[in-house]
Amino acid sequence: MATLHRKSRTVVRTIAGIIAIFVFQMLAFTLHSAAQARDVAITIHLRGVYESKISLLALSVSKTFKPIVEVTGIRNGETTKISVPKDKLPGEFVLRFDYKEKESSTPYPSEKNIFAYEQDLELWVSPTYCNNGDSTRFQPGELENATFVQFSKENGKQKEKLGLLQNFLMNYDDTESKFYQQGIREYEQRRQSYNQWLEARARQDKALFVSNLYHFQYVPEISLKGTETDRIHSLINHYFDGMDFKDPLLIKTAELNKWMDNYVNLYGQLSTTTALRDSLFPLAGLTAIEKAKKGHPLVYGWMVDYFYRGYESNGITAGMTILEPYTNDPNCPTSKRQEIERRLKGMETLVAGSKAPDISLKEPAGSLFELTKFETPCQYILLLFWSAGCSHCVETVDNLYPWQQGPEIQKKISVVAISLDETETEIQAWDKKIKGLAGWRHMRAEEGVRSKVAGDYFVLATPVMVLVDAKTKEIVALPNTVKELMKATQ
């Protein structure tokens, strides 16, 4: 789910941006319904750099790209072959190159998004310019990636005039004039024509996985009359009108996550207070899950996973509550089902007055940290489970650190910050971030949310704060925000 606290923007710009990238109708078509028959090979010819490590990243359970294959020490002019496991196909992937331009150079990253389905791929690539068509190319006859590039170029041309008319209507001041009404009619004609073109392209390329992505460009119906708030409500009311939740390949696309982020952001524009946010976002989840429930079970389960991550990371308790009946539904194969059930039960036992589970982790310097043996003159120990790759976590840290570093609070609270970062990019961000967080005890659980310490504290998403009595090691409070922490330590 998108981070709920965002910089203020004008509603008009937000609506225009949302419509411009809207993802609305997925056509009902059939690819091969059987499981992928074999792994797919990717042959990579490296050139233009001294050396590179090559990683293949696939969509993880958390819907972020994480490495599944890595090869190191590939030199300029050499060829390597990696295999995409059949259980990951079809799908979107990221090829990451950590390359050195010279032998003495520090590795520098570059990434290229690719699609794979049934066809083996052969790629000639210069990592420095890996997204430049003149420096990177697939073999002649390659289908998925070549077709998507062609579609993207045509899509830009098709959508250009519609976008200009859209911007005009969003900013025109006299919405009652005949000129404006004529503009609305012209816009609607162009919108329908554009969407018909999308449908035709999807039918044309229906045998390819990339055709699943075409209608993430679909422009939805919207009432252009009324206030900006009226327009947002119109978009919300029509958001799922054209979605085919019966298509299980939806969950194989990274675009589905972005599409749902756009949906959640519509509610975010209406959430002018925290109380309103905490009522609107559960409503957003309830509406979306009920729609997905009528579709394919895998999509239904995906939707529950999506809102679980959002509610957990943003501390929306009411949202977690509305998920409980879905986690108990045997027709909902959410990957979080067992974890959610354990988390909900664990929340009943991990309460103020209970003993904090022991923690045994290595700190960056190599020393072993053990909570039961940790001694501090402070009254409290604050256990902070966080991720540098989580914007809400970073916001929490940025609010927590200056307050905790105050002389009186620093004597009262000792902070133990446990990173659940897993990917190389996240770990690099964590290494950089903690350099500005002197005075805290830092450590990282290598398996992230699957680690023992995350399991012991029932952490499935971040941030999570647990305030512990430094002497008895009993839990004092489980604050959801820095403000709640301030109140608990008064």
Task: Dump pLDDT digits (tens) for 400-428.
Answer: 999 999 999 999 999 999 999 888 888 99
> Residue 335: CB partners within 8 Å, gap ≥ 6?
61, 301, 305
- State the CB neighbour count (10 A cutoff) for residue 345: 11
CA distance 188 to 19: 13
Contacts of 366 (CB under 8 A, 6+ apart): none
What is the CB neighbour count within 10 angstroms for residue 286?
15
Task: Write out pLDDT tens, residues 440-454.
Answer: 999 999 888 878 898
Q: CA-CA distances (angstroms) from residue 199 to 24, 157, 203, 262, 296? A: 12, 16, 6, 22, 21
- How would DSSP label each residue in 217-239? GPPPP---SS-HHHHHHHHHHHT
Closest CA to 224 of 143, 182, 289, 169: 169
State the span(s) of the chain assigned CATH 3.40.30.10: 360-488
**How far is the C-alpha of 264 from the C-alpha of 10, rounded, in Å?**
17
In sequence order, the 6+-apart residues with CB closer than 8 A to the CB of 307 are: 1, 284, 285, 288, 289, 319, 323
CA 284/CA 270 separation, integer angstroms: 12
Burial of 369 (0-12, 13-18, 19+ CB in 10 A): middle
Q: Which phi and psi angles does 392 have, rounded to 5°?
A: -70, -35
* Residue 467 bridge partners (DSSP): 382, 477
Q: Cite the beta strand spans of 300-412 per DSSP E.
A: 360-362, 368-370, 380-386
Helix, strand or coil, per DSSP, at residue 248: helix
Helices 255-270, 11-20: axis angle to 10 degrees equals: 160
Place of tokens 């206030």: 227
3.40.50.720, 3.90.50.10, 3.40.50.880, 3.40.30.10: CATH of 360-488: 3.40.30.10
Q: Which residues pair with 444 in a beta bridge?
A: 419
Residue with tokens 């409980």: 324
Q: Rounded to whole angstroms, how far apart are CA atoms 307 and 284?
A: 9
Tens digits of pLDDT across the chain (490 residues): 543 333 333 333 344 444 433 323 332 333 333 346 799 999 999 999 999 999 999 987 667 888 899 999 999 999 999 999 998 999 999 999 999 999 999 999 999 999 999 999 999 999 999 988 888 999 999 999 999 999 999 999 999 988 888 888 888 888 889 999 999 999 999 999 999 999 999 999 999 999 999 988 888 888 887 788 988 999 899 888 878 898 899 899 999 999 999 999 999 999 888 888 889 999 999 999 999 999 999 999 999 999 988 887 777 888 988 998 998 888 888 776 666 666 667 767 888 999 999 999 988 888 899 999 999 999 999 999 999 988 889 999 999 999 999 999 999 999 999 999 888 888 999 999 999 999 999 999 988 887 889 888 988 778 999 999 999 999 999 998 999 999 999 8
User: CA 471, CA 381: separation in Å to the nearest integer?
Assistant: 9
How many residues are recorded in the chain? 490
Report the alpha-carbon distance of residue 389 to residue 220 in Å, rounded. 32
Architecture of the domain spanning 40-142: Sandwich (2.60)
Q: How far is residue 373's CA from residue 360's CA, in Å, rounded to a whole number?
A: 10
Q: Is the pTM of this model over 0.75?
A: no
Domain with CATH 2.60.40.180 in the chain: 40-142
Distance, in Å, from the CA atom of 103 to the CA atom of 25, rounded to the nearest integer, reads 50
Strand 91-100 and strand 51-59: the pairing is antiparallel
Tokens coding 281: 């976002």
Q: What is the largest CA-CA distance in the chain?
A: 77
Please tell me whether the peptide bond between 107 and the residue prior to it is cis, using omega within 30 degrees of 0. Answer: no
User: 14 vs 143, 184, 269, 367, 430, CA distance in Å?
Assistant: 35, 19, 8, 49, 31
